[in-house]
Amino acid sequence: MRPPILRRLFRRVASTAVLGLLAATSSTTAAGAQPAAAAAGLQQVTGFGSNPGNLQMYEYAPAGLPANAPLVVALHGCTQTADAYYANSGWPKLADQWGFDVVFPQTTSANNSLSCFGWFDPAEDTRGKGEAASIVQMVEHAKQSHGSDARRVYVTGLSAGGGMTADLLAAYPDVFAGGSVASGLPAQCATSQAAASGCQTGPQKLSPAQWGDKVRGAYPGYGGPWPRVAIWQGTSDYTVYPANATALRDQWTDVWGIGQTPSSTDTLPGNTTRSVYNDASGKPAVETYSVAGMGHGLPVSPGTGAEQCGATAAYFLNAICSSYYTGVFWGLDGGSPGGGGDQLPAPSGVTVTGTTAGTVSLSWSAVQGAASYAVQRNGTKIASPATTTFTDTGLTAGTAYRYTVAAVDGSGKAGPASAQVTATTTGGTPARCFTATNYAHVSAGRAHTSGGYVYANGSNANMGLYNVFVTHTLKESPAGYFVIADSGCAS
């Protein structure tokens, strides 16, 4: 049964066909109706702010919640309600066990005919606007009401809620310390209703840097630490295709300034494969969870075990308790987020001060308490200078390099990485460009295949299906390193 999440997206009016499909698939509240009654413990909160996005706020706060507890925001999918997410996602059990507050925002058909969050609408999903602004107002209200720890605010969501989660992480990295996107979309994948459906079945074939630019462009000038991001995806999801998980992985590893090759991979319950992408200090910054054979929904695992949670229902699928593993990744269980702890802040003011054909010079602002700094080039640590300047040598002429810097304390523990800067060495031979089908690119050794998809050699950019119908232009610079250059191939 294929749910109608955004297959047709209309702000006010839905077609007869979509309404019929909605009635056939939704097992929660009918579109536009309010839940008959909030589940025990789930309370509606009013007066939380000016509410420009016309949302409703529901909250679950365990009895005896201590001050400075974490705060989790949980966003439902299309056709769902806050009550359904409360009842089935498993977050209340973990809130009781670990001690944190959970906010469940809710949208209705007054905003969208299928009660979807507007992850595709710049008037709703950008900083200071619409639904995104309403959700941040809910965060501020909860922080003031319960004394929540502003450094430990997290957001998670399913499907359209997952798309909005990614947008919130991009627009408000100063608010959210981490996020979890389940069967969702990369940040700013679509900026119109017309483009939304295309994102679901196949997001744009962008390089990691291009995906990362969408995040960096959501809050220009931001120089603080980035959220740690978990990505959950079923391999048999034909509503939001698995290519979106790949795009999300590319997007957030690029934002962190780390590569797209996992630091480690392991197997979890429910036929789940976890891939971990560590930051400069060796702590998980991005994790992907691929659930073999699972369709469109949030993975849950009903039961009383420590690693079990949730209940099965429409789009809550029996596989693994994703909320538990997400909570551990964030450190809600009492561990440290990403396996870290008290850390020095990310250096600010990272600047390229000069380039030659073979060198790049950098500088940054000093971090109090730093014994040294970890400099990463293209996701790999290359130096540990004790000062706030560094010159990278032995580089290839005419080549772009990406750098981040992290502060390291006296015990050798590195903090979060700085905002990424890009420097291009001077000189070099002109880039070569090739336009051909995906099949021809693979045959010529410019790309390779994996799982039926084609990836450019070097950049590993997703080029789409392995066939003779999809055509791309690839730019080679330096030799053997190819990037997609469909919009132009200037050297």
Q: What domains are there in the chain, each with its CATH number?
A: 16-339 (3.40.50.1820), 351-424 (2.60.40.10), 432-484 (no CATH)
| pLDDT for the residue 121 | 96
Number of neighbouring beta carbons within 10 Å of residue 123: 13
71: its two tokens: 């705060």
Pairing of strands 389-392, 380-383: unpaired
C-alpha to C-alpha distances, 455 to 242, 324, 448, nearest whole angstrom: 15, 33, 5
Element housing 389 (H / E): strand 389-392
| pLDDT for the residue 315 | 97
211: its two tokens: 């995906």
Beta bridge partners of 273: 267, 290
- Tell me how far apart the alpha carbons of residues 206 and 202 are, in angstroms, rounded to a whole number: 11
Amino acid occupying residue 36 = A
| pLDDT for the residue 368 | 85
| pLDDT for the residue 54 | 97
| pLDDT for the residue 422 | 84
C-alpha to C-alpha distances, 144 to 167, 172, 415, nearest whole angstrom: 24, 18, 28
- Tell me how far apart the alpha carbons of residues 279 and 286 are, in angstroms, rounded to a whole number: 8
CA end-to-end span of the chain: 49
- Tell me how far apart the alpha carbons of residues 435 and 276 are, in angstroms, rounded to a whole number: 34
Given the residues 159, 180, 323, 477, the one annotated as active site: 159
Residues 6+ apart with CB under 8 A from 235: 242, 290, 291, 292, 293, 294
- Tell me how far apart the alpha carbons of residues 366 and 371 are, in angstroms, rounded to a whole number: 10
C-alpha to C-alpha distances, 462 to 27, 146, 242, 250, nearest whole angstrom: 36, 44, 12, 9
Number of neighbouring beta carbons within 10 Å of residue 353: 13
- Only one residue has tokens 């974490």, namely 70
Q: Are 333 and 403 in contact (CB under 8 A)?
A: no
- Tell me how far apart the alpha carbons of residues 18 and 195 are, in angstroms, rounded to a whole number: 18
Alpha-helix residue ranges (DSSP H) falling in 366-466:
438-443
C-alpha to C-alpha distances, 279 to 109, 285, 329, 380, nearest whole angstrom: 41, 5, 14, 9
- Tell me how far apart the alpha carbons of residues 90 and 303 are, in angstroms, rounded to a whole number: 10
pTM over 0.95: no
| pLDDT for the residue 252 | 98
* 8-state DSSP, 371: S
| pLDDT for the residue 404 | 84
| pLDDT for the residue 29 | 32
Q: Are 391 and 361 in contact (CB under 8 A)?
A: yes
Q: Are 124 and 157 in contact (CB under 8 A)?
A: no
Helices H, strands E: what count in the chain?
A: 11, 25
Q: What is the largest CA-CA distance in the chain?
A: 68
Residues 6+ apart with CB under 8 A from 410: 369, 371
| pLDDT for the residue 38 | 36
Amino acid occupying residue 69 = A
HSE-CB at 251 with a 13 A cutoff on CA atoms is 32
| pLDDT for the residue 34 | 32
Low-confidence ranges of the chain (pLDDT < 50): 1-40, 340-341
Catalytic site residue 134? no
- Only one residue has tokens 């994948």, namely 189
Our measurement of the distance from residue 14's CA atom to the centroid of its chain's CA atoms, rounded to an integer in Å, reads 29
HSE-CB at 341 with a 13 A cutoff on CA atoms is 6
Beta bridge partners of 454: 449, 464
Three-state SS at 198:
helix
Rg (CA), the chain: 23
Our measurement of the distance from residue 246's CA atom to the centroid of its chain's CA atoms, rounded to an integer in Å, reads 11
| pLDDT for the residue 193 | 85
Query: Hey, what's the torsion of the CAs at 465, 471, 472, 476, to 10 degrees?
Result: 100
Q: Are 413 and 387 in contact (CB under 8 A)?
A: no
Element housing 446 (H / E): none
Q: Are 378 and 460 in contact (CB under 8 A)?
A: no
Cα four-point dihedral sign 133, 187, 422, 274:
positive
| pLDDT for the residue 336 | 60
